[in-house]
């Protein structure tokens, strides 16, 4: 019965295509009107009778002074030129997500750690504590009055704000160099603390005491890095001294199922996993961002050409079988991190070995 239905379908399609000329031909109702503008004429400018008052109105769609007559032939609109990338891009750029700000560097943490350290050294900022393993630097206290001649204090003072006092105040900074979401990038974050001189307050706030100063420090660091040349201009520290290059790890949950922990927010984790799936050549059938799910087929390449109309028509059984093989890559926010798991459905976990293999492929392309 199925071959008969397929034959009837082909016959109906053939009959339908034979009549497309009445709809889509040059004289059809749905003809291509892409070249009609070549036959358009320029009408004279509209004039207002002298007995009426009018205000000058600029042309909303100005026509160039020299308009050449178009040909009568069919004109094919050229494809737009691709954006120039790679030669004109910024190595360092300020990023912001809500109240969080950071400096995005197109270099790894091992390259940026000594450069940030050199920034503090050149600006004569004392370092009270540093941890290369965590990628964290804490400066000593700098007084707006006592250290007014310090290069960094002098640069930051105008950013304090008119309604904030600087007399008798001092500040310090905590700078962190963390791996970026994309492989080979870094994120530099600044936390600023402020207190009165002589105070014993020594704890770090959750957010910067003055967001303007935080922004000014990042802007000054961005300017310094852009002007000081490439990352190779500073002697790099050894691999053991560089901050940890991973912010994701493959672990197990309480039931023994593999889980990929990402120490970032959901928005950036979602983008990173999508990019990792593409880099790993894993075919994504569908996605649901609100549910945090990528529907993937690990056995199918992302570069495999999609079947045409007749391929979908005669390969419906195979398509239904592939749909049943779809695997869910689910992202779940947990506290200040995101957990990535592999499931066959919302209530059923995938095979442990297959899930671990898929998460390992994602992890390799994350870092």
- CA dihedral (10, 16, 19, 25) in degrees, to 10, reads -100
DSSP 255-281: TS-EEEEE-S-HHHHHHHHHHHHHHTT
Question: Is 278 found in the same domain as 214?
Answer: no
Collapse the DSSP code of 18 into the 3-class scheme (helix H, G, I; strand E, B; otherwise coil) and give the result. helix
Question: Is 174 found in the same domain as 117?
Answer: yes
- Examine residue 140 and state whether it is found in any structural domain, yes or no: yes
Question: Is 174 found in the same domain as 133?
Answer: yes
**124-128, 165-169, 204-208: range with lowest mean pLDDT:** 165-169
Q: What pLDDT shows up at residue 176?
A: 92
Q: What pLDDT shows up at residue 167?
A: 82
Cα–Cα distance for residue pair 353/347, rounded to 1 Å: 18
Sign of the torsion formed by the C-alpha atoms of 277, 279, 281 and 283: positive
Q: Between 220 and 6, where is the model more confident?
A: 220
Residue-number span of the structural domain to which 110 is assigned: 92-241
Question: Is 300 found in the same domain as 237?
Answer: no
Render pLDDT for 255-265 as a digit per residue (tens, 0 to 9).
Answer: 788 898 888 88
- Examine residue 9 and state whether it is found in any structural domain, yes or no: no
Q: What pLDDT shows up at residue 244?
A: 47
Q: Categorize the per-residue pLDDT at 235 as very low, low, confident or very high, splitting at 50, 70 and 90.
A: very low
Question: Is 181 found in the same domain as 128?
Answer: yes
**54-58, 89-93, 123-127, 255-259: range with lowest mean pLDDT:** 54-58
- Examine residue 166 and state whether it is found in any structural domain, yes or no: yes
Residue 52: Cβ-neighbour burial (10 angstroms; 0-12, 13-18, 19+): exposed
Check which CATH number belongs to the domain holding 125 and give it.
3.30.310.170
pTM: 0.51
- Examine residue 288 and state whether it is found in any structural domain, yes or no: yes
| Mean of the per-residue pLDDT values of the chain | 77
DSSP state for residue 349 in the 8-state scheme: B
Render pLDDT for 236-261 as a digit per residue (tens, 0 to 9).
Answer: 444 444 554 456 788 888 778 889 88
296 forms beta bridges with: 284, 327
Question: Is 270 found in the same domain as 230?
Answer: no
Q: With contact defined as beta carbons under 8 Å apart, do 242 and 315 qualify?
A: no
Question: Is 172 found in the same domain as 154?
Answer: yes
Question: Is 262 found in the same domain as 186?
Answer: no
Nearest to 92 by CA among 210, 186, 206: 186
Q: With contact defined as beta carbons under 8 Å apart, do 349 and 257 qualify?
A: yes
List Cβ<8 Å contacts ≥24 apart for 38-43: 38/70, 38/71, 38/72, 38/75, 39/70, 39/72, 42/67
What are the residues whose beta carbons fall under 8 Å from the beta carbon of 351, sequence distance 6 or more? none
Q: With contact defined as beta carbons under 8 Å apart, do 107 and 141 qualify?
A: no
Q: What pLDDT shows up at residue 126?
A: 92
Residue 335 in this model has a pLDDT that exceeds 60: yes
Question: Is 284 found in the same domain as 266?
Answer: yes
71, two tokens: 């040909």
**Once rounded to an integer, what is the mean pLDDT over residues 58-71?**
62
Q: With contact defined as beta carbons under 8 Å apart, do 359 and 342 qualify?
A: yes
Q: What percent of the chain has pLDDT over 70?
A: 69
User: For the chain, what is the domain count?
Assistant: 2
Highest mean pLDDT, choosing among 182-186, 233-237, 305-309: 182-186
Q: Categorize the per-residue pLDDT at 128 as very low, low, confident or very high, splitting at 50, 70 and 90.
A: very high
- Examine residue 210 and state whether it is found in any structural domain, yes or no: yes
- Examine residue 280 and state whether it is found in any structural domain, yes or no: yes
Question: Is 297 found in the same domain as 173?
Answer: no
Q: What pLDDT shows up at residue 14?
A: 62
Cα–Cα distance for residue pair 189/182, rounded to 1 Å: 16
Residue 189 in this model has a pLDDT that exceeds 90: yes
Question: Is 147 found in the same domain as 126?
Answer: yes
Residue 215 in this model has a pLDDT that exceeds 70: yes
- Examine residue 312 and state whether it is found in any structural domain, yes or no: no
Q: What pLDDT shows up at residue 249?
A: 80
Residue 17 in this model has a pLDDT that exceeds 70: no
Residue 129: Cβ-neighbour burial (10 angstroms; 0-12, 13-18, 19+): exposed
Render pLDDT for 291-331 as a digit per residue (tens, 0 to 9).
Answer: 899 998 877 665 555 555 555 555 544 444 444 557 899 99
Render pLDDT for 142-167 as a digit per residue (tens, 0 to 9).
Answer: 988 888 888 888 888 888 877 777 78
Residue 181 in this model has a pLDDT that exceeds 70: yes
Cα–Cα distance for residue pair 121/117, rounded to 1 Å: 6
Cα–Cα distance for residue pair 191/82, rounded to 1 Å: 39
Residue 337: Cβ-neighbour burial (10 angstroms; 0-12, 13-18, 19+): middle
* Domain boundary, last residue among 198, 221, 241: 241
Residue 93 in this model has a pLDDT that exceeds 60: yes
Question: Is 360 found in the same domain as 278?
Answer: yes
Residue 344: Cβ-neighbour burial (10 angstroms; 0-12, 13-18, 19+): middle
* Domain boundary, last residue among 241, 263, 294: 241
- Examine residue 214 and state whether it is found in any structural domain, yes or no: yes
* Domain boundary, last residue among 199, 222, 241: 241
């Amino acid at each position: 019965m199925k071959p008969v239905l397929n034959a009837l379908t082909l016959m109906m399609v053939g009959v339908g295509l034979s009549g497309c000329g009445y709809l889509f031909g040059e004289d059809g109702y749905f003809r291509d009107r892409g070249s009609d503008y070549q036959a358009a004429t320029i009408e004279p400018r509209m004039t207002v009778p002298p007995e009426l008052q009018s205000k000058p109105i600029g042309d909303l769609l100005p026509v160039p002074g020299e308009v050449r007559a178009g040909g009568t032939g069919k004109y094919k609109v050229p494809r737009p030129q691709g954006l120039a990338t790679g030669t004109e891009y910024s190595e360092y750029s300020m990023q912001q997500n809500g109240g969080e700000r950071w400096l995005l560097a197109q270099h790894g943490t091992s390259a940026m750690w000594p450069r940030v350290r050199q920034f503090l050294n050149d600006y004569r900022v004392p370092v009270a504590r540093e941890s290369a393993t965590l990628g964290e630097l804490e400066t000593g206290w700098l007084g707006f009055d006592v250290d007014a001649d310090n290069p960094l204090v002098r640069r930051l003072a105008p950013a304090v704000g008119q309604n904030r006092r600087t007399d008798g105040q001092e500040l310090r900074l905590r700078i962190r160099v963390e791996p970026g979401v994309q492989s080979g990038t870094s994120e530099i974050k600044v936390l600023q603390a402020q207190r009165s001189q002589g105070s014993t307050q020594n704890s770090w706030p959750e957010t910067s005491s003055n967001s303007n100063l935080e922004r000014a420090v990042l802007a000054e660091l961005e300017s310094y890095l852009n002007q000081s040349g490439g990352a190779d201009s500073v002697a790099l520290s050894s691999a053991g001294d560089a901050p940890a290059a991973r912010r994701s790890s493959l672990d197990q949950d309480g039931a023994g199922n593999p889980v990929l922990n990402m120490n970032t927010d959901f928005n950036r984790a979602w983008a990173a996993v999508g990019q990792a799936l593409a880099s790993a050549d894993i075919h994504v059938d569908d996605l649901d961002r609100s549910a945090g799910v990528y529907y993937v087929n690990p056995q199918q390449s992302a570069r495999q050409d999609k079947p045409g109309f007749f391929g979908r028509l005669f390969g419906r059984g195979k398509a239904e079988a592939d749909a049943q093989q779809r695997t869910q890559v689910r992202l779940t926010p947990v506290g200040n991190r995101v957990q990535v798991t592999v499931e066959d459905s919302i209530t059923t976990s995938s095979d442990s070995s297959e899930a671990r293999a898929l998460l390992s492929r994602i992890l390799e392309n994350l870092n």
